[in-house]
Structure 1
């Protein structure tokens, strides 16, 4: 069903015909994916950015496991713990029943029978169970699939706000990221993360970033960092630049832009996300709709840093130096 959606949005009837199932079965099976924000449903089902990343995870695991094998492990939350327990400590089925965290005897019997049919578990004449090589392969592949899925779920608020750009992020780049989601109780979480990154950077480091929104809080708190001689290349979009020019805090950026090592430019199209990186660590955030609080990530993943830097370079080529109208005579002051 998810494979059919790779071709584009489809309603329940279209998916039912494509998969030879009923529309009600489509609705039942799509519901958890909509709840996880992997699919949207507004008349038609359609992948979100997070959903496409999840489907990539699914396609990766199908290189090792068949869909039937994945179903055998995912049919119950107990299947993987039972398989792990056999891998860690071979024993009889009666032994498994007494191990912490494992389910009822009936559930264990059903799972072990399934594992035996698939050749994942060996049972000796004595009744002792041990994990076969095929079972270990299945267990490791499924664990990796679950880990990748959990990563996508944790970063879904950020990916949803990032929109189409999320489709270009490799899942592996998100594995060690720390999600950030602002709220009415923590409206400066991203600004705090940016400040922490710049304040703890190595003395020789410079920072590169994109600023897609005007933030008085960030401007005020960035002022002392600019005064330390921070080297930076920041890119603003046109709307942010215009708000900055009319802001009461414009002097902070105007003064900073005249310092050596500071280059601030304006891209004349909206920028889809913002970030700050010192080439080792990155804080990245996206805003989504005007009614949503921003969400983002903090990471030291090299792939994520390189992904952001590559996009910055593309936008930078089309950008122009930031300029301010002088207070006297209307002369323009440009960043170096």
Structure 2
């Protein structure tokens, strides 16, 4: 059975609205939630980017059943891995065991702000693997001292550590990241329904572990309005990870997507209120072996309508089709 989640999209709403949206997602019956962790939105039209960890702390207190997860946190530049471990342990306690720590190697868009540059992808992968190893060690308890190629940790310890530390998810995009996820992660994270990724995860030790995908959608009873909104706020999505991870600023995404047409977005993402179109977009993730799928409703001002439609129409249809 596939579980369906709701994305708390920090790029398209302010912090108080994000908490309210998460409460609504719990009330209408979504199985879990994920939260983006950025410093910038991809496009200026999205208009927001509050601090995800403060939002998550508030959501943990405002909800009682909804599982939470970062999708994803980069533990290498803006945050030192020892600090990420502390934040995650604290959130696991606040949520009473409902938190999973989703990790990824990051995007220049968010990580350049601390002035450390943006190295080649091989270096970023080295840094990421070392960071995950440090977080794992701190979750095990006791004092951790680490002097590695990229990070130093001097007798660190998590004083408030839950009995069950947060499961760690790793975002993947190729063989190398799948190998790391299979070895060090409790679950796989991906934004593309690529069966090669899930197969590589299995080969490297991930067999039987959850795999969590994400799908942007744009519900609206006016399909033309939905397509226009998706184009305005989410046309960056089709650039692919290798391109998107390198761009440093929303203006860069504006330039990189200037020739993307509304029809291009409509061909890639389900828009409107035809539930069968949404089911067709979900199916590739199910066929690729994903066990969970988080939906992103595009447009910060259109969450309430999406949640109402999800309760009445979308969630029953998804569960009927992919039970």
Do the two structures share a fold, i.e. TM-score over 0.5? no
Bigger Cα Rg = 1
The TM-score, its normalising length taken from structure 1, stands at 0.24
The TM-score, its normalising length taken from structure 2, stands at 0.25
Bigger RCO (CA 8 Å, 6+ sep): 2
